[in-house]
Structure 1
């Protein structure tokens, strides 16, 4: 009897496998990033209800937190490729993962102390930066409530890096989503005096964020302590035991990341302060346009975080082809998404601004400026997506020093320099500042992509141990 022909099982293409793995890891990270941005967006909306003056002051306050806050966040980010590479080399690498996690928590505590000291003296700093006295006063009042977010926010990021490295970020999304509604409700109550609470105005908005971020960090810690899939790492065991070699390695890898993040975060903060040299309406409009751009940025940022993990795991496993696939897929997804968002910003800028500001005579000039800024922001969407995913790809290779220099050159030498020149020498005002930001992002994205494309020539793909 004729035997049936057994067809060999066709294995799915490795590119589709990597696409599936990247999307599976990235979508909870993207949505949790969006929840983080939406928490800040609720602050912007609530301050807009108070008035343009309060919106401008809170924007100056938040922008003051960015340089050191993003620097600390960048240093903590070193734990992500370190944990991912350890797990790529050995799937059950509990001790190496725990060492990196523990020291990232140490760094969060160490970074919060100077941040608190700086923000406590915010009014003096803001006045020294040439801002109007009434804006500096109100910004300092806001920060007296908001400054306490820094420690729980950094601790949350350290825990989130662990969940991303083990490719289980779902809890981050769930807890962050609850935080959106909690921040909106508590902020509304404390600002305007609802549910029997006192009306604290601009200070209440900052205090609400501090309370909510503390709750978010405690909730994520509780999940890590109680969930079976995480308990085996014993992450909080012997928490106070020093691990100086691991701390030193994390600083060597993380300090360049921290500087790169600080350069990027501070350039937008500097843009806000340059707007303050024009007028309060420009600051408020900048805050709205930047918040909209920040919401779209959360998607490529999530893809960047996924790229760091996927490239890092392939690096630890010695899979050179696999890390290339991981990087290019994340980069392509990020650029395509931001191209779509650029089209939306070009098409309906006034509708987008309308989500943040009511169309009233008091807000008319702020709305017109925000619409103009948003049209310029549309132009740099693609560059912004390309540079952030490119940086994540290179972090997966433990390559952090050259991206730091790229950020310094692109954002500060070219971007803010061109923006200030266009604004004050050529008379472009706020449009000039935003144009400079777009030029800087374009330079950085090109440099990041070029370094990734030449990764083998620069010997960035040699396998590395967990250390």
Structure 2
């Protein structure tokens, strides 16, 4: 990253960071998207099974990946402070930690998932697909978490185009494997939704190995000599990573797990309702990649400016990112409203699923403004290394306010499954308000000039 002085320079530089991150996130999401859509074209049971499996996996993966996101603000601030020699040992410790995290997740999936699925009222075929989908994903956990460390290191240096290219390379690998394994093409077994799990695991290994090669051989990454030596495990460094990363991870977990919890609670409804819910939620999640990408760009930009002691510039980047997010939210709301029929037809050809999914999409419009505020604000707060308050705020907003509202409406009113969507909207709105107030407080505490400047 470079120092900027004018709003135009900041805008140009911010988009230079954001656009590659956005393409990267869309490409990563595309793996889940193609898992879902291609499974849906195999059968409604495959779609529901992958939906349930993903609902168990996504909050775990995003929450624990969030712990590793502490690499980005730390490396970004080290880079801004010109402390380049401290980067390599830190990144290696983060890689060690990622392997430990993956081991814990594998054990959790192996022993806890069967118990969870057994206690859900799922149709036998959906239960079987969800279980085997998750078992296949286990083979990709180690490279997935390790790749996220490599990605955070690369992005923290402002080279977001590199991770974009890595992810774009992986997309045809994932789609091709899905085609072969879900539908049983070219002599491969027809595995349905289970094949999607195998395809994702293989793709995780691919992107990790490509990232290692680039970091080891290409400038400016090779100048940091990340793999020059093997460092002994340093528990103090792990402690520093976890001190910053655990609040980040749990804040992300509380946000993503609320959606998964709703999907799991919907298991009491029929397969059509589960499939329709997953269709609408999957599309809304794709749109969420925009504020999520803006959040990453804000962490890099704000962290760099804070590390250099330029707090006024950090503030400008924060509000610039929120403004851009709101503009995207307005466009996406129009897209959902106008093209709802076309959207659901991408996921399924089942008329009953299509009809219900279009109704759920109406509620997804109301997600947009809240996501456009809450997610980028969290990115800015990470740049300031202010993460503990966000943890508490997301817990209260999503789990103590949003989910109870949804449960009451779904259980005791005629809204039924739609009541859960109203609860999600409520939780997101509370979260956006709480986090925005926190950012204003942090900026007033740290900036050299008043907020109104």
The TM tier, using the shorter chain, reads over 0.9
Aligned to 1:22: 14
Deviations 1:140-175 (A, max 9, x none): 022121222322221111111111110012121112
Matched, 1:35 2:22: no
Does structure 2 conserve the Cα–Cα contact (< 8 Å) formed by 1:153 and 1:213?
Answer: yes
The structure 2 residue matched to 1:52, chosen from 9, 20, 44, is 44
The structure 2 residue matched to 1:349, chosen from 340, 352, 356, is 340
Q: TM-score, normalised by structure 2?
A: 0.94
Shift of 1:461: 5.5
Does structure 1 conserve the Cα–Cα contact (< 8 Å) formed by 2:406 and 2:420?
Answer: yes
Does structure 1 conserve the Cα–Cα contact (< 8 Å) formed by 2:88 and 2:226?
Answer: yes
Matched, 1:105 2:99: no
Residues 72 and 237 from structure 1, CA distance in 2 versus in 1: closer, same or farther, beyond 3 angstroms? Answer: farther
The structure 1 residue matched to 2:115, chosen from 124, 133, 151, is 124
Larger Rg: 1
Higher mean C-alpha displacement, 239-248 vs 258-267: 239-248
Matched, 1:368 2:358: no
Aligned to 1:80: 72
The structure 2 residue matched to 1:419, chosen from 401, 406, 420, is 406
Matched, 1:389 2:376: yes
Structure 1: unaligned runs, 5 residues or longer:
1-11, 463-467
Aligned to 1:293: 284
Cα RMSD (Å): 1.6
CA distance in structure 2 between the aligned counterparts of 1:323 and 1:145, rounded to whole angstroms? 43
CA distance in structure 1 between the aligned counterparts of 2:266 and 2:171, rounded to whole angstroms? 28
Does structure 1 conserve the Cα–Cα contact (< 8 Å) formed by 2:167 and 2:207?
Answer: yes
Residues 45 and 377 from structure 1, CA distance in 2 versus in 1: closer, same or farther, beyond 3 angstroms? Answer: same
Aligned to 1:4: none
What is the number of equivalent residue pairs in this alignment?
A: 444
The structure 2 residue matched to 1:184, chosen from 175, 178, 183, is 175
Matched, 1:68 2:45: no
Shift of 1:395: 0.5
Deviations 1:12-63 (A, max 9, x none): 9611111111110111000000001111111111101111111001110111
Residues 429 and 149 from structure 1, CA distance in 2 versus in 1: closer, same or farther, beyond 3 angstroms? Answer: farther
Does structure 2 conserve the Cα–Cα contact (< 8 Å) formed by 1:278 and 1:429?
Answer: no
Matched, 1:250 2:241: yes
Where has structure 1 moved over 6 Å in runs of 4 or more?
none
Matches within 5 A, 1:53-452: 53-90=45-82, 93-121=83-111, 122-358=113-349, 363-452=350-439
Does structure 1 conserve the Cα–Cα contact (< 8 Å) formed by 2:174 and 2:200?
Answer: yes
Does structure 1 conserve the Cα–Cα contact (< 8 Å) formed by 2:102 and 2:141?
Answer: yes
CA distance in structure 1 between the aligned counterparts of 2:114 and 2:217, rounded to whole angstroms? 43
